[in-house]
Amino acid sequence: MCYSSNLHLDDKAEPEKWNINSSRRGVRNMLDYIAFRMPNNESFVYDSLPTVLFSVHSPFIPDNPRILQNELQFGRSYAIDVQLKEEHLLEHPYPTDCTDYEDLWRKNNKTGPRSQEVCKKKCSDNYEQKCWKCTRLLKDMKYNETCIQGEENGYPR
């Protein structure tokens, strides 16, 4: 089972936005409440117990919860407080990629990647798709032109 909320990696939808009172003295707003009830047979891996991996990230950046695992334990309740932080990069001449992907996305009729991470992922997916026959594990497959060019990288012909 997989659940996500407000995820917009490659679509035309605007992300959900909330007006939040960030004052420590003011009333705090709760954005969402999620209750999980998982039967024992809801496991991705047949030889292990089911788990709930929890992750909070930008709606425009794909996440792999197995890399930075936040595994929730069964039979416990969690109150998770999330704080929004913003990273400010230095302008030219410093080597930072300050491309405004949101602006590019709007100029392209709300199509294309909305973050550098999605852009890189699409590029690597395209390369893998072209070169899937190059995998050393699939030596009996035919190799396409892209793979032949990559022989110096250790891929057999």
Q: What is the pLDDT of residues 104-132, one digit of tens each?
A: 888 999 888 888 888 887 777 777 777 76
How many residues in total does the chain contain?
Answer: 157
pLDDT tens digits, one per residue of 86-97:
777 777 777 776
Share of the chain above pLDDT 70, in %: 60
Share of the chain above pLDDT 90, in %: 1
User: b vs e for 96-113, b when ≥16 Cβ sit within 10 Å of the residue's Cβ?
Assistant: eeeeebeeebeeeeeeeb
- Omega before residue 62 within 30° of 0, cis: no
pLDDT higher for 27 or 35?
A: 35
